[in-house]
Amino acid sequence: MIKPHGSEILNPLYVFEEEKRNKLLREAEKLLSIVLNSAAASNAVMLGCGYFNPLKGFMDLADAKNVAQNMHTVDGLFWPIPILNIVKDIKEISDSKRIALRDPNIKGSPVLAIQHVETIEEISKEDKDFIVKKIFKTDDPEHPGVDNFYSLGNYVVSGPIQVLNFSYFEKNFPNTFRTAYQIREEILKLGWEKVVAFQTRNPMHRAHEELCKMAKEAVNADGILIHMLLGKLKKGDIPADVRDAAIRKMVELYFPPDTVLITGYGFDMLYAGPREAVLHAIFRQNCGCTHLIVGRDHAGVGKYYGPFDAQKIFDEQVPEHALEIKIFKADHTAWSKKLKKVVMMSRVPDHTKDDFVFLSGTRVREMLSNGEPLPEEFSRPEVAEILGHYYRSQM
């Protein structure tokens, strides 16, 4: 099986032993504590799941700046995005070496993890600007990732953590949320050696479905991991439970049996385009995948990134042996009226724009809200029905 990133075996930061976990929870009640922001809470969940292997906790400012500058920590680990615990107020914890981290996303803010505090550093506006421009390629406050990063606070709390639960993800998505080590176990059980991962924060239409099938066939994979983001998104994105239902229906009806694992992970979307694509590759390697599909505008938002910047970064900025996972580069896919099937548009040079079935996101939402059927070349009818029900419920 493909090795995890940066280590021989996966080292999730979740405390597996129940007795030890309960002891730590009792200790946490006596510790000074902070309520995390959602970004830091999702980082803690990802660390606990093993997705961020081999990190041991939250980075300090030197590592964050080094990662932003050249995608390596100070110690030389290849890593694309700073993993930080940024807070607004440190008065309660300024002299503490061990603190409880509380969950902002659950009522009552229960303890999510315990952190051993190595440093508490103030992050200057200049350092914030530097990190933002390197990671997001813009400092435009209209960019949702930029806006969120600037809102987090001015203090970086670094140090290793022990994760005691997985926030709301296990309860809210019991059939879908899986850790990296659980996915590895499932892949091993299935006997899959080559596994193609498909990242999604959106429902899957015909083009996505066919892209997964194309990639599987092209690399001769044993199976596909459809891996959906379950954390926070920007306003207007479709909620995870609706996406989950739509994807499950599509897989049930239109994929061969036992060729797809449908799972989700507990992370908030960054909309960091190319850098986020590299992070996606790392944590898909950590959960046992050999290939990641990177398509047009992967992890992008608006017009901040070129359509294929998330593919170019692997050629131009990722060192040759930094990752074991391979990238399947996909062009924009659409239904060809000429060929009566979904194609990669770059592979049919004889086609014009009028030879494809296109629908803008705005038009799709209008049609679904009005109860209009989507063209079957664009979306499976069973998927469209689930999405239409959601949009009509919002009116």
- pLDDT, one tens digit per residue, over 359-372 is 776 788 788 888 88
d(CA 163, CA 173): 19
Q: Is 70 among the residues known to form the active site?
A: no
* pTM for the full predicted model: 0.95
* Architecture category of domain 18-167 in CATH: Roll (3.10)
- For the structural domain made of 175-265+271-393, what CATH number should be given? 3.40.50.620
201 is catalytic: yes
Q: What is the domain partition of the chain in residue ranges? A: 18-167, 175-265+271-393
Confidence (pLDDT) at 94: 85
SS3 track for 213-282: HHHHHHHCCCEEEEEEECCCCCCCCCCHHHHHHHHHHHHHHHCCCCCEEEEEECCCCCCCCHHHHHHHHH
Catalytic one of 11, 202, 248, 296: 202
Residue 171: which residues within 8 A CB-CB, separation 6 or more? none
Residue matched to tokens 């001015």: 154
Q: How many CB atoms lie within 10 A of CB 368?
A: 21
Instruction: Count Cβ atoms within 10 A of the Cβ of residue 243 and give its class: 0-12 exposed, 13-18 middle, 19 or more buried.
Output: buried
Looking at the DSSP bridge assignments, the partners of residue 199 are: 227
pLDDT score, position 345 = 87
Each residue of 259-275: pLDDT tens digit? 999 999 999 999 999 99
The angle at the Cα of 82, spanning 80 to 86, to the nearest 5 degrees, equals: 165
Catalytic residue (choose from 102, 178, 201, 284): 201
Positive or negative: CA dihedral 225, 230, 236, 242: positive
Q: What is the pLDDT of residue 17?
A: 97
The kind and range of the H/E element at 366 are helix 361-369
Common-topology check for domains 18-167 and 175-265+271-393: no
Give me the tens of pLDDT residue by residue for the chain, a chain 395 residues long. 999 999 999 999 999 999 999 999 999 999 999 999 999 999 999 999 999 999 999 999 999 999 999 999 999 999 999 999 999 999 989 889 999 999 999 999 999 999 999 999 999 999 999 999 999 999 999 999 999 999 999 999 999 999 999 999 999 999 999 999 999 999 999 999 999 999 998 889 898 999 999 999 999 999 999 999 999 887 778 889 999 999 999 999 999 999 999 999 999 999 999 999 999 999 999 999 999 999 989 999 999 999 999 999 999 999 999 999 999 999 888 889 999 988 988 889 999 988 898 877 678 878 888 888 888 888 999 999 999 999 888 87
3-class SS of residue 195: strand
